[in-house]
Amino acid sequence: MSETVIKATGLTKSFGDFHALNNVNVEIGLGRIVGVIGENGAGKTTFLNVILGLCSYEGNLDVLGRNPARERDDLMRDVCFIADVATLPKWMKVKDVFDYVESVHPKFDRAKAMGFLSRTSVPLDKKVRALSKGMMVQVHLAVVMSIDAKLLVLDEPTLGLDIMFRKQFYQSLLEEYFDEDRTIIITTHQVEEIEHILTDVIFIKSGDIVLEAEMDDLGSQFNEVRVTKGKEDEAKALGPMRLGSSFGRTTATYQNKDRETLASLGEVRGLGLADIFVATMSQNGANSNDTGDGQ
């Protein structure tokens, strides 16, 4: 693996009897774009908060060579954190937003931010509340791409934006910000929109990591078979992760099964990230025999 940016061993966070993180072991390298994906309440935001030094934890955690709990001020010089873009302070003018970021983040390059905005129609003297959502995206991108941070953490960054601006956000992030010397961690429910930019994925469920893999490996690991009629028992005997049905035919999802063997059962197709997520969550305790019609 490349230089390690985050290494967690036995990472645990509890709120009373509730375990938001349960003995998590994760290692993330430099130059990766990692999607942390889970249902509501799975532990995604807690994981980010621990990384950012925003809450206490048990276990061992190293972020950019620092302990987030004890060295947060120093750590945040190399970290940029962005939540929902709608959280920009609405009472500020755009130029005041830049003034504020410049005052709190030592690695913010105001000239670079101004250069980015000069290619847009965003007015510097307009208050954030008067901007369209698209303009808010452009302001947020100007801030993000002008901070020389080794680690960028994005928690549902495009929540509430329409599809055009969501695509613009990720395209600009990939083309104008990311390089092999930076690491990006993203949490989102819009899995299909980010899978093409991810290098790695982490699935989290009830505080547990249930899958950690490189995106390049997922295509060969997971397949779905639309089972030929009469071969349903053979398909079940092979131990699918998940059974369902599509247009009157049984569908079976498998992990790490020989594709030639699967082809003998019916039509085989690879799975997108969203389908892999559903199959993995099903295998780990929910609706493993869903028989609703789907595709």
pLDDT tens digit at each of 295 positions of the chain: 568 999 999 999 998 888 899 999 999 999 999 999 998 888 998 999 999 999 999 999 999 999 998 999 899 889 988 876 556 788 999 999 999 989 988 889 999 999 888 888 899 999 999 998 778 878 888 888 898 889 999 888 877 777 877 888 888 888 888 888 999 999 988 888 889 999 999 999 999 999 999 998 887 899 999 999 999 999 999 999 999 888 889 999 999 999 999 999 999 999 999 999 988 988 755 443 343 333 3
pTM score, two decimals?
0.85
The CA distance from 92 to 90, in Å, is 6
Neighbours of 237 (CB within 10 A): 9
Half-sphere exposure of 21 (CA within 13 A, CB side): 25
Count of positions (residues) in the chain: 295
CATH class of 4-206: alpha beta
The CA distance from 114 to 141, in Å, is 11
The CA distance from 242 to 252, in Å, is 6
Half-sphere exposure of 170 (CA within 13 A, CB side): 25
Residue ranges per structural domain of the chain: 4-206, 218-283
